[in-house]
């Protein structure tokens, strides 16, 4: 069944019918999920399932092929008309097809006919083919009313990468202060004070003037996390933050992430750390073959999985 999916202010992030192709390879095949403020959503799945691509689409490090991304009620992508049923229902194409559908299927309820006609319009791309200026005008109105430049949004979305992505030509302090100062969000003094506060939090204030090449992997990743926190984000996105670390360094990074979760930070975490998912997540998503095959609270997700592929996956990783 299809849903009338437009943005909803209740959600901090809304991913709506997301598709992503790399050439002929279809990586995401219609992914939809909502992230509420304060949620800790953990995404697991086999390699190549589309987990990291979905995460990178959330702040447009990857540009979706189709679908919409909303953040705090603002649209970050072009409008996908087939996600806005009001646009479809107001079109002459819809009205004409509904008249014919009532004649051809008099026993079918209006609600069922509505869904059938909308599905046909979407499948055959009839708005683009038939509506012309009216279609373009409706899409433009939605875009102008709701769109926000992604660069403004990224200030509120912290991103932590698998391979740290620290600037090797800058010392640790400059890594933390670069973005707030360059974007004129803080003075240099304010940014440095905040940076030192964050470094003290993770016990690395003595590393402020050293360069990333002298740090361990665990130290680099913790600094990458507080670098993102220096921008005072509303949500933190983690792309397999422990997968490049030596096993003995994983714990110190996970502890910092647990602290953030306890403080109420909204988090979306792509990871293979099942223990973290069980302990910290408010919701766990399982992705495979470019779609979300199952999602649930951690207890039911791990103790009573439904999807056959998830059952198989868990049998190998637990």
Predicted confidence (pLDDT) at residue 137 exceeds the cutoff of 90: no
pTM confidence score: 0.88
Dump strand ranges (E) for the chain.
Answer: 11-22, 25-36, 40-44, 66-71, 74-75, 157-160, 235-239, 266-270, 283-288, 291-296
Q: How confident is the model at residue 82 (pLDDT cuts 50, 70, 90)?
A: confident
Query: What is the reported pLDDT for 135?
Result: 83
Tokens 């003595």 identify what position? 206
Residues 118-143 have a mean pLDDT of: 89
Which stretch, 1-15, 27-41, 246-260, has highest mean pLDDT? 27-41
The mean pLDDT value of the chain amounts to 93
Q: Is the pLDDT of residue 222 over 60?
A: yes
The two three-digit tokens of residue 270, written as one number: 């792509």
**Residues 202, 117: Cα–Cα separation, whole Å:** 57
- Residue 44's DSSP bridge partners are 286
Per the model's pLDDT, the better-predicted residue between 9 and 300 turns out to be 300
SS3 call for 39: coil
Q: What are phi and psi of 30, to 5 degrees?
A: 100, 50
- Max Cα–Cα distance, the chain, nearest Å: 78
pLDDT at residue 138, as a whole number: 85
11-76+148-317 CATH = 3.40.50.300
Contact 225, 175 (CB under 8 A): no
pLDDT one-digit tens code per residue, 149-191: 999 999 999 999 999 999 999 999 999 999 999 999 999 999 9
DSSP state of 147: B
The answer to whether residue 1 scores a pLDDT higher than 60 is: no
DSSP string, 241-255: TTTTS-HHHHHHHHH
Residue 2 has pLDDT above 60, yes or no: no
pLDDT at 134: 81
Q: What angle do CA 211, 261, 186 make, to 5 degrees?
A: 50
Nearest Cα to Cα of residue 265 among 282, 285, 245, 249: 282
Helices 172-182 & 217-229, crossing angle to 10 degrees? 20
Asked if residue 145 has pLDDT above 80, the reply is yes
Structure confidence at residue 275 (pLDDT) = 94
């Amino acid at each position: 069944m299809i849903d009338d999916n437009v943005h909803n202010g209740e959600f901090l992030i809304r991913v709506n019918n997301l598709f992503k192709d790399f050439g002929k390879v279809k990586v995401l095949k219609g992914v939809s999920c909502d992230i509420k403020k304060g949620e800790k959503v953990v995404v697991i799945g086999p390699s190549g399932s589309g987990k990291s691509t979905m995460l990178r689409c959330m702040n447009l490090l990857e540009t979706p092929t189709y679908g919409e991304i909303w953040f705090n009620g603002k649209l970050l992508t072009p409008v996908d008309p087939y996600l806005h049923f009001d646009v479809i229902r107001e079109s002459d194409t819809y009205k004409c097809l509904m008249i014919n559908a009532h004649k051809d299927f008099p026993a079918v309820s209006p609600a069922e006919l509505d869904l059938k006609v909308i599905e046909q319009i979407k499948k055959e791309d009839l708005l683009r083919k038939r509506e012309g200026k009216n279609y373009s005008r409706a899409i433009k109105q939605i875009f102008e009313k709701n769109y926000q430049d992604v660069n403004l949004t990224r200030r509120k979305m912290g991103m932590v990468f698998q391979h740290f992505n620290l600037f090797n030509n800058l010392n640790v302090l400059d890594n933390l202060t670069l973005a707030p100062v360059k974007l004129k969000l803080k003075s240099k003094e304010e940014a440095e004070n905040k940076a030192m506060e964050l470094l003290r939090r993770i016990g690395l204030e003595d590393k402020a003037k050293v360069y990333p090449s002298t740090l361990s992997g665990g130290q680099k990743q913790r600094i990458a996390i507080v670098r993102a926190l220096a921008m005072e984000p509303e949500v933190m996105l983690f792309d397999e933050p422990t997968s490049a670390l030596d096993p003995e360094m994983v714990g110190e990074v996970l502890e910092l992430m647990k602290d953030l979760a306890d403080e109420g930070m909204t988090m979306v975490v792509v990871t293979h750390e099942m223990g973290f998912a069980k302990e910290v997540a408010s919701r766990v998503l399982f992705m495979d073959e470019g779609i979300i095959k199952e999602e649930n609270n951690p207890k039911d997700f791990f103790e009573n999985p439904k999807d056959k592929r998830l059952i198989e996956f868990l049998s190998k990783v637990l």
